[in-house]
Amino acid sequence: MRQGEDEWTGLMRSAISGDSAAYHRLLKAIAPVLRAAARRGLALRCIQSWHDLPGFIAALAARVQAAQARLPAAVGAPVVFTAHSLPQRILDWHDPYPDQLRRTCELVAAQAGLRDWRFAYQSASHTGEPWLGPDLLEVLDQIRREGRTGVIVCPVGFVADHLEVLYDIDVEAAAHADALGLHLVRAATLGDGADFVGALADLLGPYAEEEAQA
């Protein structure tokens, strides 16, 4: 921190955070930091959701199109967008997480010109309570029953190569698809791609300008 700075802006790395328990756990975890900052005259704020950020949507659409190029055009593979499942009880709280996911998928599909796309949750935990579905493996089963031989999976809920991407999709889902006779191609995550970093810069820019003028 440089001398003279009195406002900080934090960014949730998950574009689609809704009003999730994870977000509230984060706020609880950093509460002591926020209180200490306030005592020193520092203001901290957090950008919670940016699920419809134009640059984010464009970057995802580009990853989907790159994945399509890896499959023969004749395959006509549907695209399955995925995100981490959460316990179904969030629906009782009217959590916007599912709606934000749906909006993100709709925007990416429109920009990528997709005619056949689905959505699935993944990585549900075994807690003994119902989790949001349908599960990715169930959707792969359905796609194969339709006579399809290829599928593209785009993990819109993950901006980097988390374990849920590298194992749950690249290992578990890929093995399941292979057993079905389904060629699975996973769209690359955004990572440190210049287009994604540029989108984040566009998101944070107004906050930086506001702080500079304060």
Q: How far apart are CA 151 and CA 136, in angstroms?
A: 12
Per-domain boundaries in the chain: 7-50+197-213, 54-186
pLDDT value for 1 = 38
Residues 6 or more apart whose Cβ sits within 8 Å of residue 65: 112
- Residue 43's pLDDT band (cuts 50, 70, 90): confident
pLDDT for the residue numbered 214: 57
CA 65, CA 192: separation in Å to the nearest integer? 18
Q: Is the pLDDT of residue 19 over 50?
A: yes
Q: Which SS3 state, helix, strand or coil, does residue 136 take?
A: helix
Position 44 confidence tier, pLDDT thresholds 50, 70, 90 = confident
- The pLDDT assigned to 25 comes to 66
Is residue 143 within a helix (H) or strand (E), and if so which, with residue range? helix 136-145
* Structure tokens belonging to residue 110: 């429109």
Q: What is the pLDDT of residues 109-134, one digit of tens each?
A: 999 999 999 999 999 999 999 999 99
pLDDT above 70 (res 100) = yes
Q: Which CATH architecture has domain 54-186?
A: 3-Layer(aba) Sandwich (3.40)
Q: In sequence order, which ranges of the chain are alpha helices (DSSP H)? A: 21-39, 54-68, 97-112, 136-145, 163-166, 174-180, 194-213
Q: Is the pLDDT of residue 3 over 90?
A: no
pLDDT digits (tens, 9 = 90+) for 141-190: 999 999 999 999 999 999 999 999 999 999 999 999 999 999 999 999 99
Mean pLDDT of the chain: 88
CA end-to-end distance (rounded Å), the chain: 17
- CA-based nearest residue to 108, from 158, 65, 151, 159: 65
pLDDT at residue 22 greater than cutoff 80: no
Nearest one of 212, 205, 184, 180 to 75, comparing CA atoms:
184
Residue 161 token pair = 């190569």
Q: Are 157 and 82 in contact (CB under 8 A)?
A: yes
Q: What share of the chain has pLDDT > 70, as a percent?
A: 88
Q: CA 192 to CA 195: how far, in whole Å?
A: 8
CB 185 within 8 A of CB 152: yes
pTM: 0.87
Cross-strand bridge partners of residue 122: 84
**Two tokens, residue 38:** 């306030």
Q: State phi, psi for 27 to the nearest 5 degrees.
A: -60, -40
